[in-house]
Structure 1
Amino acid sequence: MTHPASPLPVPVFYTRASCKLCQQAEALLLEWEFSFQRVDIAGDEDLIARYGHHVPVLSLPLPTGERTLHRGPLSRSGLPALQLRLIRLRREAAQTVPRQLN
């Protein structure tokens, strides 16, 4: 019997509390009922080195490594492209996750 692969990861939203673009992007994501895990990069030296002032960033952790869904300002017109990118990356991830047999 084949079991479904493990659930696919939730996108991670990298932000900083003082970032106006981050606040606007987060408000749009919440308005669209887009599921994500919020991570404030402040105080995390590794994340600050990786993203610096280049937030907001929405990425998807995959078995093959983290993939960026969106970087920078987010607009209402950007939702369809963001959703399509997420669908494609999740499909790619599902193909790389081995299925278990019983």
Structure 2
Amino acid sequence: MTFFFKQITAATCSFMVFFSSTMSAVQYLFLGMEHVNTALIFAIVCLIASLIGLVVVQRAIEHHGRASLIVFSVGIVMALSTVLITSFGAVDVWRDYTSGKYMGFKPPC
């Protein structure tokens, strides 16, 4: 019974990722963004990488018997992205400060 729910969960997650990325791609096409060939290459690479990741995670869960591996991996990615975004933002602020650029509010448009 739990195997059935795991399959439904994996299918739902895969569909939502596919749906949101497809809608983002359609939005870029409607807005006139170009580089369609590069986007297709990235789409193929991401599809292959996501399939490999799905197989690796499923085997790791079967081997260890713990679904918490997913939670830990998402937590690690979130922590790493927080550190990297903060670091790159600090570097940009320091670069603007040392070059004497205006660092006040910018117009939204």
TM-score w.r.t. structure 2 length? Answer: 0.34
TM-score w.r.t. structure 1 length? Answer: 0.36
Between Structure 1 and Structure 2, which shows a larger proportion of strand residues?
1
